[in-house]
Amino acid sequence: MAECDMNTENSTGRRESTLAGKLFRNLPYKIVILLGAGIFLAGLGASMWGFIAAGLYILYGLVGSLWIILFLCPYCRRYGSRSCPSGYGLISARLRKRRDFGRFAEKFKKHIPVIVPLWFIPPIAGIIIEIIHFDWLLLVLLVVFAIDAFIILPMSSKKHSCKTCPQRNECPWMKDKKEVT
């Protein structure tokens, strides 16, 4: 998708994220969650435990997004702004009051670890299941999950979101990365 389709300029010349842009930028995270659930279903089969594990993982993904909306976005300069690439900042403004932007880095370090296990639970569970009982479908899902979670999603964030973020210099994820200045 072309960058111009994902952003537009408002009457003051400020860049805003379009609906298509928000959907596109949310896609890699949604795919991570769906693939993670697929890994549990492929590994545990269409059994009660397979559906429970997949359902709990999807629930964790949804709660993780809400957690960021509630506890990180209020500290971001894009809180309540259409320039927020994911749209979380607009949702956050409906749920919580604006907080001190100067504490963004502190809150980032505190709250991002809450969602980090989403990246590791499916591969760890999938590898254990593969060792016990090898399955080609599970292997394919593990590889695709790894490509999306560890390559596409970080690249997409860096290229489309972090690059233009007004808080990138305070962000613990970005401030040491020289290519984004």
Q: Which residues bind ligand SF4 (CB under 6 A)?
A: 72-73, 76, 78-79, 84, 86, 88-89, 165
In the complex with ligand SF4, which residue's Cβ is closer, 40 or 75?
75
The least distance separating ligand SF4 from the CB of residue 68, rounded to whole angstroms, comes to 6
Tokens representing residue 139 in the block: 């292997």
What is the DSSP secondary-structure string of 119-169?
A: HHHHHHHHHHHHHHS--HHHHHHHHHHHHIIIIIHHHHIIIIIGGG-TTTT
The least distance separating ligand SF4 from the CB of residue 15, rounded to whole angstroms, comes to 13
Tokens representing residue 181 in the block: 């200045």
The least distance separating ligand SF4 from the CB of residue 1, rounded to whole angstroms, comes to 19
Distance (Å, whole) CA 169 – CA 172: 8
Is 9:15 a contact under the CB 8 Å cutoff?
yes
Is 88:26 a contact under the CB 8 Å cutoff?
no
In the complex with ligand SF4, which residue's Cβ is closer, 50 or 164?
164
The least distance separating ligand SF4 from the CB of residue 85, rounded to whole angstroms, comes to 6
The least distance separating ligand SF4 from the CB of residue 45, rounded to whole angstroms, comes to 36
Distance (Å, whole) CA 89 – CA 74: 7
In the complex with ligand SF4, which residue's Cβ is closer, 107 or 138?
107
The least distance separating ligand SF4 from the CB of residue 4, rounded to whole angstroms, comes to 20
In the complex with ligand SF4, which residue's Cβ is closer, 37 or 69?
69
In the complex with ligand SF4, which residue's Cβ is closer, 60 or 88?
88
Helix (H) or strand (E) holding 112: helix 104-115
In the complex with ligand SF4, which residue's Cβ is closer, 78 or 160?
78
Distance (Å, whole) CA 181 – CA 177: 8
8-state DSSP, 85: S
